[in-house]
Chain A
Amino acid sequence: MLEVSGLSVDYVLDRGSVRAVDDVSFTLERGEFLGIVGESGCGKSTLLFAVAQLLAPPAVVADGSVKFEGTNLVGLTDGQLSAIRWRDMSVVMQSAMNALNPVKSIGAQFKDAMRAHGKPSKQEIAARSAEVLRMVGIDPVHLKSYPHQLSGGMRQRSMIAMAMLFTPDLVIMDEPTSALDVVAQRSLMVQIKELQLSYGFAVIFVTHDMSLISHFSDRLMVMYAGQVDELGATRAVFDNPLHPYTQGLLEAFPSIHGPRVPLKGIPGNPPDMARLPAGCRFHTRCPLAVERCSQVAPDLYQIDDALVRCLRRQDGSLSSPQQGSLSR
C-alpha cells in the first residue's frame, strides 16, 4: 500500500545542504503497524513529514519516491495532495496543544477538517463528529469544549478522532504519547490498537520509546543518523537484536522487574549530521567496531526476514545472540 524508495531529505542551508534522511526504503501493507524508533536527530520525524508531504523549507525531498497506493506523492501539487489528505492518509501530531487551535472548540475543528475535504451537510458533520469522538471513548458533549478544557489524554484522543474522520487507510503518528503520563499512555496505545484492529488501517508510529512500541507494532524500524539500521518483525528485533545500536538502545531501558544491574547506555553522542564519521555512522560509539567499520559504509543486508546495516553482521563475524555484550 505504501512504498517508500530511496527517500532522502535535505535541509538546504546557507552553508550547504545537510542530509537528514538518507536513502530510506520500506514498504507497508494494509493494516500493518510499523514502529519507527530512534533518538533525537536520527531523522525519524523528518522522514514522517516527508512521507506525509508536510515538509517545510528549508527541508526538501532530495531523492526517492513515496508511492501511496500506486501514486508517487513526491512532486504532487497541494491541490492533488488534498484529495488524498485526510481521506486516505491522516496525521496525528506529537503535542495536541500545538496542533489543535486553542481558540476553536473541538467540534469547530472537526467541522473545518470535514469541510476542507468534502461538502458534507450540517447533519453529516454533527453525526460524524459525535461518532468519531465515541470511537475514541470521549463523550460527544465535548464537541463544545476548547482544547485547554480537556486533559492531556483527552486532547490526544481528540486528535486521533480527528484523524479518523474519513477512516483513512493510513494514519501517521508522530510521538502522540510522549507528553502523557504512563497510565494515560497505556490507555491511549490500547485505544489506538483497538481502532486499528477494528477499522483495519495501517499505522506508522514514530517514537523514541522502544519499550512502549514493543507491545503494539508488527514491524519495527530502528533509525540512526538518518539511516535505517535495522528493520524486522518487532518480536524478532527485541528477542534477537541484530544491530549493536539496537542492542544498546534495548539495554538503556532499566527494567522494573528482575535484578538491578548497572547499565552503561551508549557512550558518546549522536553525530553532527553536517560532519558524519567516515564508514559506518555508528562506529565511533560501537563497542563491537573493528577497523573496517571506519572505512566502509555498510548497506542494508538481509538476514532471514530482517534487514540490518552492519558490516560485521554482513560478513558473519558477529554471531547472535549478543546478550549482555554492551553492559559489561
Chain B
Amino acid sequence: MAMPVAGVPTETPAGQLPAGRALARVARAVRSSRKATVGTVLMVIFILIALFPGVIAHDSPTVDAYAPRLPVSTAHLLGTNAYGQDLFSQVVWGTRNVLIIAFAVGVAATGIAVLIGVAAAYLGGWWDNVLNVLTDVLLVIPLLPLLIIIAAYAHGASTGVMITAITVTSWSYTARQLRSQALTLRSRDFLEAARVRGERRLYVIVMEVIPTMTSLIVAAFLTNALYAVLLSSSLQFIGLGDPNTVSWGTTLYWAQNNAALQTGEPLWAIAPGACIAVLGAAFALLNYAFDEIGNPALRPVRKVRQKKGAK
C-alpha cells in the first residue's frame, strides 16, 4: 500500500522532459536495475551485429564454399552445415532479418494498437463498440492457416509479407490492454478538466491521454517485438517463410530438413535456437525493466536488517 511521505514522489512521470534530462534519467535507471542492464547490453550487442554483420563474420552465409560438416574450429566458429556453408556467418547475418521483423512489427502493431485501443476507450459509445468488434474479430483469426494461404499464393512469404501478416494478426492483443488502461484514465479529473476548458476530443487523446501511457506503450512495443521474433522464427521453421532468406528460422528449417540433430550436426539447430532464446530474453528483460522504472513499487526490495531489541 502506498504510504507517501511528504516530498517522496510515488509516481515517476514519463515523457515530455527536455531531451538531456530524459536521457540522463534513462541512463540512471538502466544502470540501477540489473535486469535493465543485462537486457540493454544484450540488445545493443544484437543491434550491432545486425548493423555490421560483415565486421564479425567474414564469410558469406549463402555460398557453400566449404567442406560440409566441418567441426568447430577457429576458421569456422560453429563449423559448417551439410551444404558447406559457414554456420557462424549464417547466424550472424540472420540477426539482421530477425531484428528488422521484430522492430517493424513492433512499431506497426503498437502504432495500430495505440490508435485503436485509446480511441475506443476515450470515444466510448458507438465507436467503442465498433472498434471492439474489429479488435475481437482479429484477435481470433488463426495466424497459421492465414499464413499458409498467403504462402501458397506468394510462393513462400517474403520478409515484407511476413511483417504484414504478423502485424495484422497481433495488434489486437495489445490494443485490448491499452484500451483497458485508457478506460481507467477516462474518468480521471484531468481529462474532464481538459474537456471542460474546451479541448477537442482528438487533442485530448493525443496530447493528454497518450503521454500518460508511455510506459505501457513501450511495454506493448516490447511485447509485440518479442512475439514477432518467436512467431516469425516458428513460421520460417515450418517452411512458411522464404527458404532463401538468411534468418535464424530458416537456418532451423534447413537443419530440420537435414535431420541435423540426428546426424551429428547439433550446432546447426542449437545455434540459431539459442540466438532466438537469448534475443527473446533480452526483450523480456527490457520489458520487466521498464515496468520497474515506470512503477517504483515493483522494484526489488533490498533486504534491510532491523535493529533488534529495545532501546
Contact A46 B6 (CB under 8 A): no
Contact A40 B308 (CB under 8 A): no
In the complex, A175 has a CB within 8 A of chain B? no
Contact B6 A75 (CB under 8 A): no
Residue of B whose beta carbon sits closest to that of A272: B7
Interface residue from A11, A12, A273 paired with B302 (Cβ < 8 Å): A12
Residue of B whose beta carbon sits closest to that of A39: B6
A155 vs B306: C-alpha distance when bound (angstroms) = 36
* Closest Cβ–Cβ distance, residue B12 to chain A (whole Å): 11
In the complex, B160 has a CB within 8 A of chain A? no
In the complex, B24 has a CB within 8 A of chain A? no
In the complex, B21 has a CB within 8 A of chain A? no
In the complex, B5 has a CB within 8 A of chain A? yes
Interface residues of A (CB under 8 A from B): 5-6, 11-14, 18, 20, 40-41, 43, 45-46, 49, 56-65, 67, 72, 74-75, 225, 270-275
Interface size on B, residues (CB 8 A): 17
> Given A14-B32, A56-B1, A57-B301, A64–B311 Cβ distance below 8 Å?
yes
* Closest Cβ–Cβ distance, residue B211 to chain A (whole Å): 25
* Closest Cβ–Cβ distance, residue A228 to chain B (whole Å): 16
Contact B7 A274 (CB under 8 A): yes
Contact A5 B311 (CB under 8 A): yes
Q: Interface residues of B: mostly helix, strand, loop or mixed? A: loop
Which residues of chain A are within 8 angstroms of B32 by Cβ–Cβ distance?
A: 14
Which residues of chain A are within 8 angstroms of B1 by Cβ–Cβ distance?
A: 56
> Given A58-B301, A64-B310, A65-B311, A275–B3 Cβ distance below 8 Å?
no
A144 vs B3: C-alpha distance when bound (angstroms) = 33
Interface residue from A11, A63, A275 paired with B307 (Cβ < 8 Å): A63
Contact B308 A18 (CB under 8 A): no
Contact A45 B309 (CB under 8 A): no
> Given A56-B1, A59-B3, A11–B308 Cβ distance below 8 Å?
no
> Given A45-B3, A63-B311, A13–B8 Cβ distance below 8 Å?
yes
Contact B310 A72 (CB under 8 A): yes
In the complex, B55 has a CB within 8 A of chain A? no
Contact with A along B1-39 (1 / 0, CB 8 A): 101111110000000000000000000000010000000
Residue of B whose beta carbon sits closest to that of A99: B1
Interface residue from A6, A12, A14 paired with B304 (Cβ < 8 Å): A12
> Given A13-B8, A45-B3, A273-B5, A6–B307 Cβ distance below 8 Å?
no
A59 vs B304: C-alpha distance when bound (angstroms) = 10
Contact A41 B5 (CB under 8 A): yes
Contact A74 B311 (CB under 8 A): no
Residue of B whose beta carbon sits closest to that of A3: B310
Residue of A whose beta carbon sits closest to that of B301: A57
Which residues of chain A are within 8 angstroms of B6 by Cβ–Cβ distance?
A: 40-41, 225, 270-273
* Closest Cβ–Cβ distance, residue B2 to chain A (whole Å): 10
Interface residue from B3, B8, B304 paired with A274 (Cβ < 8 Å): B8
* Closest Cβ–Cβ distance, residue A68 to chain B (whole Å): 12
> Given A56-B1, A60-B304, A60-B306, A275–B311 Cβ distance below 8 Å?
no
Contact B7 A273 (CB under 8 A): yes
A299 vs B8: C-alpha distance when bound (angstroms) = 26
Which residues of chain B are within 8 angstroms of A12 by Cβ–Cβ distance?
A: 302, 304
Which residues of chain B are within 8 angstroms of A60 by Cβ–Cβ distance?
A: 304, 306
Contact A275 B304 (CB under 8 A): no
Contact A49 B3 (CB under 8 A): yes
A49 vs B4: C-alpha distance when bound (angstroms) = 13
Can you list 26 contacts pairing A with B, beta carbon distance less than 8 Å? A5-B310, A5-B311, A11-B3, A11-B5, A12-B304, A18-B7, A41-B5, A45-B3, A57-B301, A58-B301, A58-B304, A59-B3, A61-B306, A61-B307, A63-B307, A67-B310, A72-B309, A72-B310, A75-B306, A75-B308, A75-B309, A270-B6, A272-B6, A272-B7, A273-B6, A273-B7
